[in-house]
Structure 1
Amino acid sequence: MKTISDTHDTPKQHLFSLNRTTQQVIFILLLVSCVVFPIISPPVALLIGLVIANLFGHPFLHLNHKATSILLQVSVVGLGFGMNLHSAISAGKEGFLFTVASIFSTLILGLLVGKWMGIDKKISHLISCGTAICGGSAIAAIAPVVKSNENQTSVGLGVIFILNSVALFLFPAIGHWLSLSQHDFGLWCAIAIHDTSSVVGAANKYGAEALQIATTVKLARALWIIPIAVGSTYLFKNGKSKVKIPYFIFLFILALVVNTYVSSIAVVAPYFVTIAKLGLTVTLFLIGSGLNINKLKEVGVKPLLQGVLLWIFIASTSLFVILKLS
């Protein structure tokens, strides 16, 4: 199934029309720069990708979705080699009640807002699931279950990608403004930012402890794709649809176990973590380079407004609870 980031680019979708070879050279040079220069953080890489998409175009756009999916999964598994299992379990337990309450309240509110605004039922459900669980990954898993068409899936992904891009810059700024601790910020962004890539990117920018808590809580949250997808089959009466399970989460857990109990891994673990962070930077560059302004215009006002309202709800309520409990 194609998505908003999967279709071929055309000259009308960007400002400067260049031949394909020149496009490829510029794109590859910038991609390599994201790996070579440490000054390019994940948020900066996302911004560079957005600029390149709208100025020159993405010459490999048809490969973008698959590349970002694989890179993100590999990067998340690599980050597991920098974390301790006992700390991860502690963070996961603490975030469990937050996860359950925020997921179901967001899904219910999304259903009500979608009906109130007259948004297509499947688009509304995809946006709600993406906001409640884990962004594009949740939409990719739920879309075949509800049998959404290409346009419905693309609109859902477009809303989530727009808000993810904003979150990557906005959340660390708010965290510093409110003087949130590493712990509180990690928990907050895991609950309130949609995609795992943006959660990890924002938390990594904030600090090492925030990164560990955010990654653990977010991946535990992502496992809710399975029961929500099963529930969606009954809601949309598609009993024969298959649920796409995010198996890479179990590899992340395996990396945690190995890093905690196999002492010899300490020699190479830091290299795995460094490579994983570089992979995340490249992932966000690719996500940004797939967000052409003309494609984002296809999202429409109502679905975007629904996404914003749900995002404000989950971000503000989770932050309020975290501040109250800290």
Structure 2
Amino acid sequence: MFGKRISKAQLLYIGLALLCLFPFMSPPIALVVGLIIAQVIENPFSDLSHKAVQWLLKIAVIGLGFGMSVSSALSAGKQGFLFTVASITLTLSLGLAFGKLLGIDKKIIQMISVGTAICGGSAIAALSPIIKADAKQISISIGIVFLLNSIALFIFPAIGHYLDLSQHQFGLWSAIAIHDTSSVIGAADVYGAKALEVATTVKLARALWILPISMVFVLFSGGSVKKIKTPYFIGLFILAIIANTYVPNIEIVAPYIVSASKVALTLVLFLIGTSLSFSSLKEVGAKPLFLAIGVWVFISVLSLVVILKTTF
């Protein structure tokens, strides 16, 4: 950057990004600031921020593993397994059927359905090369998912408090009903430490379903197995939990790692916000948005009803 003059837009962007390093910038506030900036200026580092989101989110997730124990992670994962299988199957089936009924582009239907069923933008990124989606189809699908994630980050904690959900109930609900890992963790972190632990564990177990679902699409779309992306960072998350449970004296540094991971998550949500300008979302169209909202509301309400009727 030496020898080049930094623009006012770049200075503003960098300054606000640095503010995410301070405690007063919670994940929801960072997202709002990012959204506001996206409407005022065009992201001057769009390619760089996209790559940063991918890496920072993985680092944040791995770091959060140092705040969990093996026993609690196994407990959360075991309780969420059947729930995860049922919700993924139902969400995918409903999304594919509803999208076909609305006459939406087939590849957009598939990406929105998989993104809603598994883990938002990560699932879309994994599926898109398999079904040979073009840039416009991908941007429409990811734009919708990120928009709904932004809404979820604010309304889910409010609904949880209104219904007096326990930490465990809220963590499970957010992991099932919110698309992207960043918003799941952001919403759960606002709700409480136990909610964060349950949500992160269940959501990452859910993310592993990218592999079998991708294999299904390879079989039916004629794609290549080589294009399937394996979420290796989940293995590092598991190793972090094991280290936090069994490595002597890890408790000395673990809280600092967890705190740094939450700062990284805050920065991720700021960066995501800066990519959501209303002008770009206008290209989405009513039908894909209607599909995404319909499937999301259905699975959110249904999973909440099941959780309220289940004793944890």
Same fold (TM over 0.5): yes
Matched, 1:61 2:46: yes
Aligned twin of 1:145:
130
Aligned twin of 2:26:
41
Aligned twin of 2:17:
31
Matched, 1:210 2:199: no
Report Cα offsets for 1:85-142 as digits up to 9, x if no partner: 1100000000001100000111110111011000011100000000000000000001
CA contact (8 A) 1:91 1:216 kept: yes
CA contact (8 A) 2:124 2:141 kept: yes
Percentage identity across paired residues of the two chains: 58
Matches within 5 A, 1:1-326: 21-36=7-22, 38-239=23-224, 241-326=226-311
Letter in 2 for 1:256: I
User: Is the partner of 2:65 in helix, strand or coil?
Assistant: helix
User: Is the partner of 2:18 in helix, strand or coil?
Assistant: helix
CA contact (8 A) 2:31 2:272 kept: yes
Cα distance change, pair 240–321 in 1 and its aligned pair in 2 (3 A)? closer
Letter in 2 for 1:22: K
Per the TM alignment, residue 63 of structure 1 is displaced from its structure 2 partner at its CA by 1.2
CA contact (8 A) 2:215 2:225 kept: no
Which consecutive unaligned segments of at least 5 residues does structure 1 have? 1-18
Letter in 2 for 1:265: I
Report Cα offsets for 1:275-325 as digits up to 9, x if no partner: 000000000000001111111111111001100011011101100000001
User: Is the partner of 1:245 in helix, strand or coil?
Assistant: coil
Cα distance change, pair 89–199 in 1 and its aligned pair in 2 (3 A)? same
Per the TM alignment, residue 237 of structure 1 is displaced from its structure 2 partner at its CA by 2.1
RMSD: 1.1
User: Is the partner of 2:21 in helix, strand or coil?
Assistant: helix
Distance 1:119 1:221 in 2: 26
Per the TM alignment, residue 20 of structure 1 is displaced from its structure 2 partner at its CA by 5.8
Distance 1:67 1:310 in 2: 29
Letter in 2 for 1:30: L
User: Is the partner of 1:166 in helix, strand or coil?
Assistant: helix
Letter in 2 for 1:60: F
CA contact (8 A) 1:20 1:59 kept: no
User: Is the partner of 1:35 in helix, strand or coil?
Assistant: coil
Letter in 1 for 2:8: T
Distance 1:128 1:304 in 2: 12
User: Is the partner of 2:42 in helix, strand or coil?
Assistant: coil
Report Cα offsets for 1:60-89 as digits up to 9, x if no partner: 112121110000000000000011111000
Distance 2:146 2:175 in 1: 16
Which consecutive unaligned segments of at least 5 residues does structure 2 have? none
Normalised TM-score (structure 2): 0.97
CA contact (8 A) 1:145 1:241 kept: no
| Higher deviation after alignment, 208-217 or 39-48 | 39-48
Per the TM alignment, residue 28 of structure 1 is displaced from its structure 2 partner at its CA by 1.0
Distance 1:76 1:148 in 2: 28
User: Is the partner of 1:58 in helix, strand or coil?
Assistant: coil
CA contact (8 A) 1:233 1:241 kept: no
Distance 2:110 2:261 in 1: 32
